[in-house]
């Protein structure tokens, strides 16, 4: 094995941090952030993508305000839409940089990342959170700046996490055979897709309410042995 690819929520980071700290932080600031940054190219692109999805799904043209309300609805329903994920990353940046939020990382994670790097493995992240959000959570983390451990970050630009093609895309981009890549996640369907693409898999079972599949399991990163 040459490469370890890790999920974030439920794997390196508690689900409660994402849902009870990160999502509310973005939700509370979303309307004002969009209003104050309407001339920003990234925000314009986010609104454009949101409107395009609304049009495709309801055949209706929506205003900037309606697009903002739709983005808020997507936070509530945890829709992993790239426009929302990009906007969340932009809003979270202010919180991380000002010290209002620190990315939660389980204590076993930095120990394992260090050991894996020292053993010659290359490490990467694949999350529905945007690449920017991934950079932030690992740079401004409860365990210090872990960003230097990761050589690559992938978000849904390569495809959705439950689709086999996404894992094939990652393997092609990395130029590493899927069989040489170990994917870590708490979600059975993501692991099923990675395995179908030929990757090795381990399911993180950090909480008792995880839906267990037929993958190898580990309660934390210390239990991952090669």
Ligand X SMILES: CSCCC(=O)C(=O)COP(=O)(O)O
d(CA 90, CA 33): 9
**Residue 58 or 100 having the CB closest to ligand X:** 100
Q: Which positions ≥6 away from 83 have C-beta within 8 Å?
A: 45, 46, 47, 49, 50, 53, 71
Residues in the chain: 226
| Interaction between residue 203 and ligand X (CB under 6 A) | no
Based on the number of CB atoms within 10 Å of its own CB, is 182 exposed (0-12), middle (13-18) or buried (19 or more)? buried
Q: How far is the CB of 211 from ligand X (least distance, A)?
A: 14
| Interaction between residue 80 and ligand X (CB under 6 A) | yes
DSSP three-state, residue 61: coil
The separation between CA 58 and the C-alpha centre of its own chain, rounded to angstroms, equals 28
Question: Which one among 6, 134, 171, 200 touches ligand X, defined by CB under 6 A?
Answer: 134
Contact letters (x/-) for ligand X, 161-200, by CB under 6 A? x---------------------------------------
Question: Which one among 3, 4, 6, 9 touches Mg ion, defined by CB under 5 A?
Answer: 9
* Candidates 121-129, 139-147, 175-183, 201-209; binding stretch for ligand X (CB under 6 A): 121-129
- Residue 178 binding: pick among Mg ion, ligand X, none (C-beta 5-8 Å cut-off by kind): none
């Amino acid at each position: 094995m040459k490469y370890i690819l890790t999920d974030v929520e439920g794997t390196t980071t508690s689900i409660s941090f994402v849902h009870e700290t990160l999502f509310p932080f973005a939700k509370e600031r979303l309307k004002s952030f969009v209003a104050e940054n309407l001339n920003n190219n990234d925000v314009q692109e986010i609104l454009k993508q949101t409107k395009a999805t609304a049009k495709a799904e309801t055949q209706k043209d929506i205003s900037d305000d309606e697009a903002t309300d739709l983005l808020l609805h997507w936070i509530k329903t945890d829709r992993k839409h790239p426009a929302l994920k990009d906007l969340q990353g932009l809003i979270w940046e202010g919180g991380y940089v000002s010290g209002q939020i620190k990315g939660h990382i389980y204590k076993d994670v930095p120990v394992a990342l260090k050991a894996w790097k020292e053993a010659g493995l290359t490490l990467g992240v694949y999350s529905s959170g945007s690449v920017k959000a991934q950079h932030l959570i690992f740079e401004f983390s409860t365990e210090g700046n872990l960003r230097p451990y990761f050589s690559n970050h992938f978000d849904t630009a390569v495809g959705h996490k439950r689709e086999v093609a996404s894992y094939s895309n990652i393997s092609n981009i990395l130029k590493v055979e899927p069989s040489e890549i170990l994917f870590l996640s708490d979600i059975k369907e993501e692991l099923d897709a990675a395995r179908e693409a030929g990757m090795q898999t381990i399911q993180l079972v950090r909480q008792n309410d995880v839906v267990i599949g037929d993958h190898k399991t580990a309660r934390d990163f210390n239990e991952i042995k090669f």
